[in-house]
């Protein structure tokens, strides 16, 4: 049995523990021996995005100390995985960074590329629109963005297509940013909110009942707008559906 180190980003741990539980359930149901290092903390992304590299270095070192022993490191967050995979090498001088880069996977990437999941015994009888977050799309290559002249693919959508009774609706702007952007939503709230409203409207106009994505931060941003405007649509992290934790 292969051992997986489960990395749960701080905002999921604090606000969406159900996503952490769904990730754990999904991996263990597939036969993996999953460990959750209790001393884990933030990957350092908020500091790096704001230019505080010195503050991020200690977090990066702590992450490497905790997770470098695992054959696989899996997380339900594309933005955090991208930070570790793409930014640690320029942040700290540690021979273990290259191993971490090869070992860490966003959950959809892991299921698609490593597990090669071909079937799953869950049902979700709803109309869903799939939101592709920017880090996963453009930095982890979880799909192909529309500005590129390449054949279409989406690793996360292909996993959703395995779910029984689901209806994935077509969107007009399938890879448009939701406007969250972490600290961008704080520094430019008016632009951020309008981008979120545009993203939600695209789903509503396609008669989606759920907005499904692989980054809780983006879903949190859109859910806040949905709640504020009392819109008739919900959000769900993809692992909640794949694990069968919401039906």
Mean pLDDT per block of 10 residues along the chain (247 residues) reads 91 95 97 96 91 93 96 96 96 94 97 96 97 93 87 93 97 92 87 96 98 96 97 98 93
E runs forming strands in 132-233: 167-168, 210-213
* Tokens found for residue 66: 């905790």
Return the pLDDT at 185.
Answer: 86
Query: Contact 83/204 with Cβ under 8 angstroms?
Result: no
Q: Indicate the pTM of the whole model.
A: 0.94
CATH 1.10.10 fits 127-242, yes or no: no
Residue 122 C-beta-side C-alpha neighbours within 13 Å? 24
* DSSP secondary structure string for all residues of 157-174: HHHHTTSBT-EEPP-SST
Domain extent listing, the chain: 3-114, 127-242
CATH class of 3-114: alpha beta
Return the pLDDT at 1.
Answer: 65
Domains 3-114 and 127-242 fall in the same CATH topology: yes
């Amino acid at each position: 049995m292969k051992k997986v180190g489960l990395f749960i980003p701080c905002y999921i741990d604090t606000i969406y523990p159900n996503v952490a539980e769904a990730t754990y359930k999904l991996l263990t149901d597939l036969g993996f021996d999953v460990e959750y290092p209790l001393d884990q903390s933030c990957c350092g992304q908020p500091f790096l995005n704001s230019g505080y590299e010195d503050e991020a270095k200690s977090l990066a070192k702590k992450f490497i100390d905790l997770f470098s022993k695992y054959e696989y490191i899996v997380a339900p967050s594309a933005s955090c995985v991208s930070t570790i995979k793409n930014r640690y090498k320029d942040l700290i001088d540690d021979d273990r960074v290259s191993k971490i880069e090869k070992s860490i996977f966003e959950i959809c990437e892991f299921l698609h590329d490593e597990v090669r999941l071909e079937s799953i015994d869950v049902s979700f009888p709803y109309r869903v629109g799939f939101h592709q977050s920017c880090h996963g799309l453009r930095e982890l290559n979880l799909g192909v963005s529309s500005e590129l002249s390449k054949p279409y693919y989406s690793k996360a959508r292909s996993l959703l297509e395995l779910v029984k009774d689901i209806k994935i609706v077509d969107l007009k702007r399938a890879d448009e940013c939701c406007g969250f952007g972490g600290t961008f939503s704080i520094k430019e709230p008016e632009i951020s909110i309008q981008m979120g409203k545009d993203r939600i409207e695209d789903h509503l106009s396609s008669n989606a009942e759920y907005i499904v994505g692989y980054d809780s931060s983006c879903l949190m941003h859109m859910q806040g707008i949905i709640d504020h405007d009392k819109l008739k649509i919900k959000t769900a992290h993809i692992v909640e559906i794949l694990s069968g934790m919401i039906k």
